[in-house]
Structure 1
Amino acid sequence: MIRTTCVLLSSLFLLSSAFAQEADTPRRINQAIFNKIEYHFNQQETDSIYALGSPKFKQSLSLQAFQTVMSQQLYPLGQIQSAELKNYEKGTGIYKLNFISTPLQLVLGLDSLNKIDVFLFQPYAGDPAPEKTPPTESGNTSASKFDRYVDSVALSYSRKGHTHALAIGIINAGKTSGFYYGETETGNKQLPDENTLFEIGSVSKTFTATLLAYFTQLQQVSLDDPITKYLPDSVAANPDLQRITLMQLANHTSGLPRMPDNIEASAASNSLDPYHGYTKEHLYTYLKSYKAEIPPDSLYQYSNLGFGILGDILSTVYGKPYDEMVKEIICQPLGLKNTTEHPNPDSQYVAKGYNEKGAETPLWTFDAFTAHGSLKSTVSDLLLYAKAHFKMPETDLEHALALTRQFTYFNPPDTDIGLAWHMNVVGDELIYWHNGGTFGSSSYLALTPDRKMAIVVLSNTAEPVDSVALAILKYMLK
């Protein structure tokens, strides 16, 4: 048992601009600090945890004593597989920590200055018995009210005049719901359904990050490996690449730009299909002459290029193309039947894409950038994918999914980053999310494992669906 006093991290979870209207609450701050502690614990970064201590804490417990307690009593339990806030009252949160062998609970208390005042590990006390609730009225009025709200938000999107199909999937309170609007092609009068495929764009990055986490779980790679370890010698010789790690590709801190500057000059460049024809040879040519303007790990800079490189490296490690990796490692174990880079036209229907003016536009071909945005998927598959994040990790894949949600970088003033996932606190809940878009689609996926809640919004129009998803998500979290 440990009872110590620690200091609040100087950089708390801050909200993205999308969530800027949400006011900070003591519970939210408590959860934000816990997430920092969880990350350092799982990395066994004892010095980093100790560095959070207040002067009073450091006077009462030396670094050597703290290291002894952590290394002899706590780290032998292994990593925290998942955690859940079980109770919060008067500035103190009680968290259930799931280890492989046995759960513990952490009592985490903050003082009036938001410094950690209580840091107490205990045997887990167990879940309280559920309170009895009166019978609900017939008619399912609460569900109907929610359905009407979803309709109102969705119809405001669908009635803009240039939008087409809109598909929404929701997991909430143990129930899975689907809402479908518009038409999959102009004039066909055909609603989308749970099995209609859409381009999901950069939501694909979460699948790529899962592949990286999976190979990390199997110890085939390390997150801290330099990328030059997996690149051809002629490319790896570039000193400006040698400080970039696999993790920095996955959390957008590599310093690499959003796009390589030679993509428009590639022979087959197409203004409506911008990645088509950009090959591995083009990519390696760019990397050989790359000059870093931003040092790695110094700044969050969203990079499609970084994920293109990551996908190339993972394909080298696995010995198969990206689409086959996704199918064999993620889709088959999770039962995702319609998530693919290359849909079968005889058995899988992909909604046609329309640009921001409502004109039809081709689906994208990604070539060397396949790992950053090439996947097509459905509401049904993405909800199954979200549900897999709710499980207590047992398999290598489930451990990989959990690893993608571990904090890796703080990006003030917007959001925290895992592996691909963006992380924000909405209300009192930690939300993992990613959006995506092509010239003919828009997508959004968000989930909160603690509440076993998720939302998927897919459109075949290049009109962002973020506002639709966020409005519904905030309603769900009331």
Structure 2
Amino acid sequence: MRNIVLFIFLLSSVFCLAQPSEGEKIKINLLIDTVANKMLKKPLIHSTSIAIVYQGKEYIGHYGELEKGKNNCPNNETLYEIGSLSKTFAGTLAAKAVCENKLNIEDEIQKYLPEGYPNLKYKSHPILVKHLLSHTSGFPNMIPLEANIILQDFTNHDTPAKINELHRNYRQKDFLRDLHKVKIDTVPGYKYAYSSAGSEIIAFILEKVYKTKYEKLLTDYLAKSIAMQKTKISLSDQEAIKLAVGYHSDNSMITSAMPQLPWGASGNMKSTIPDMVKYMKFQLKNNKIVAKSHESIFKVDPEFSIGYFWNIATDDKKLGTYYVHHGGVPRSQCYIYIIPKYDLSTFIITNQSGMNTAKVMEDALNEIFEKITQ
């Protein structure tokens, strides 16, 4: 989670690169080429897209083949599943609601739920909105609870199919029903435990606050405030054609897309690289909403804390305080880094998801950070 990440390509392989300008831009593009080259030599990795925003300039590179042997390099129109990076968007909307005095993170979540949930507390200690945002609510990672058992064997080739089947026709009403099955075994706000279920509830709370469906609330805000026109939860048939295929673990067969989750806030967003560049620039501008979303809510240890779903790290003295999140679905993994000290942000994604994928991206990112900040 504190890992540093990026994925890059093989210069001698099939690749396409966003147009460089002179001087420093050429130097950074060559750096991206170098790390991508190393990345695509790793087992199972055969495609990646990388974006860097540095001191107001943007750099985009696309490398490899989405399908081995098909010469289909990703491009600026390719839609990627960004997995749990979706949570940072939910955190941004929650920060917006707080800035507009529509939401208080000290509120008990029961205030927003449609019926009584006496199980959502530990003794006399209720779950507050801030506990959901900081992964300290005591919720399990996933609801339905069976998903947690399936994901224990993540690399099994059957795992994506089992997850898809579990979520087939699983709707918001089913989630709210299964919320009664949750057992809280520690005081909320005391212990960090990552929970996708918690971010789904944040989406539900935002719907109540704004009296608008979460997906519309999200896409309207992204389009109007950040000019992100191609970042969505649900895709039209025409858009779905541009969705990147991907591979799970060491399975050579194309893996099906992530199933639709009840609200989609925890892992259903899709985006293009140019749209992610806009998001990176938005994060670096650090306006009132961004600043709120970057505020620490819970300190895990002296070098790591949690904001509005953002991981906040101070463990690297050279990089200073930075904000990071990993995203993963069964056929894609990515990282985003926001590093204010250097006016730097990076986004890296590959259409492969296995136990070593994050490490491959981290190695690439480490080299990028080292060279840019030297």
Same fold (TM over 0.5): yes
Given that 1:201 and 1:372 are in contact with CA atoms closer than 8 Å, whether structure 2 keeps it comes out as: yes
Structure 1 alignment gaps of length 5 or more: 1-15, 20-138, 394-398
Change (3 A) 1:228 1:323: same
Amino acid paired to 2:274: S
How far apart are residue 161 of structure 1 and its match? 4.2
SS state at 1:350 partner: coil
Distance 1:371 1:322 in 2: 8
* Structure with more contact order per residue of length (Cα contacts < 8 Å, sep ≥ 6): 2
CA distance in 2, matches of 1:238, 1:441: 33
Q: Which of the residues 261, 278, 301 maps onto 2:193?
A: 301
What's 1:442 paired with?
A: 333
Q: Does 1:470 align with 2:366?
A: yes
Following superposition, the deviation at residue 442 of structure 1 comes to: 0.6
Instruction: Please report how far the alpha carbon of residue 409 of structure 1 lies from its aligned counterpart in structure 2 after TM superposition.
Output: 1.4
Shift of 1:144: 4.5
Distance of aligned partners of 1:237 and 1:284 in 2 relative to their CA distance in 1, 3 Å threshold: same
Counterpart selection for 1:147 from 29, 40, 55: 29
The match for 1:277 is 169
Q: 1:391 to 1:413 in 2, by over 3 A?
A: closer
Q: Distance in 1 between matches of 2:139 and 2:93?
A: 21
- Secondary structure (helix, strand or coil) at the match of 1:346 reads helix
Q: 1:114 — aligned with what?
A: none
Q: Which amino acid aligns with 1:283?
A: F
**Could you say which residue in structure 1 is the equivalent of 2:210?**
318
| Contact 1:355–1:439 under 8 Å retained in 2 | yes
1:232 to 86, 104, 114: 114
Distance 2:115 2:239 in 1: 43
Match of 2:312 in 1: 423
Separation in 1 of the partners of 2:202 and 2:2?
28
- In the alignment, which residue of structure 1 is the partner of 2:249? 356
Once residues 432 and 17 of structure 1 are traced to their aligned partners in structure 2, the CA distance between those partners, rounded to angstroms, is 9
Q: Which residue of 1 aligns with 2:139?
A: 256
Matched, 1:338 2:220: no
Contact 1:263 1:275 in 2 (8 A): no
What do residues 402-431 of structure 1 show as CA deviations (whole Å, max 9, x unaligned)? Answer: 210111111126612111111123314221
Letter in 2 for 1:351: A
Matches of 1:312 and 1:353 in 2, distance apart? 30
Range that drifts further, 179-188 or 370-379: 179-188
- Contact 2:120/2:184 (<8 A) preserved: no
Which SS does the other structure have where 2:189 is aligned? coil
Q: Determine the structure 1 residue equivalent to 2:77.
A: 195
Q: Does 1:244 align with 2:104?
A: no
C-alpha distance in 1 between matches for 2:34 and 2:243: 26
Is contact 1:183–1:190 with CA below 8 Å preserved after alignment? yes
Match of 1:373 in 2: 267
1:435-466 superposed Cα distances (whole Å, 9 cap, x missing partner): 10000001111112343211111111113233
Secondary structure of the residue that 1:235 maps to in structure 2? coil
**d(CA) in 2 for partners of 1:474, 1:265:** 37
Cα offset for 1:264? 4.3
Alignment deviations for residues 299-352 of structure 1 (CA, whole Å, 9 cap, x no partner): 111111111211122223223332211111233321101100112332561111
CA distance in 1, matches of 2:283, 2:211: 27
Does the CA-based 8 Å contact 2:52-2:277 persist in structure 1? yes
Are the counterparts in 2 of residues 256 and 294 from structure 1 also a CA contact under 8 Å?
Answer: no
Give 2:277's aligned residue: 383
How many percent of aligned residue pairs carry the same amino acid?
25
| Structure of larger gyration radius | 1
Q: Cα distance 1:265–1:281, how it changes in 2: closer, same or farther (>3 A)?
A: farther
Alignment map for 1:23-102 (pairs within 5 Å)? none
Return the offset for 1:362. 0.8
Residue 234 and residue 17 in structure 1: after superposition, are their counterparts in 2 closer, same or farther (change >3 A)? closer
Length-normalised TM-score, structure 1: 0.65
- For structure 2, the 5+ residue unaligned runs are 5-20, 150-159
CA contact (8 A) 2:319 2:342 kept: no
Letter aligned with residue 280 of structure 1? Q
1:432 counterpart residue number: 323
Runs of 4+, deviation exceeding 6 Å: none
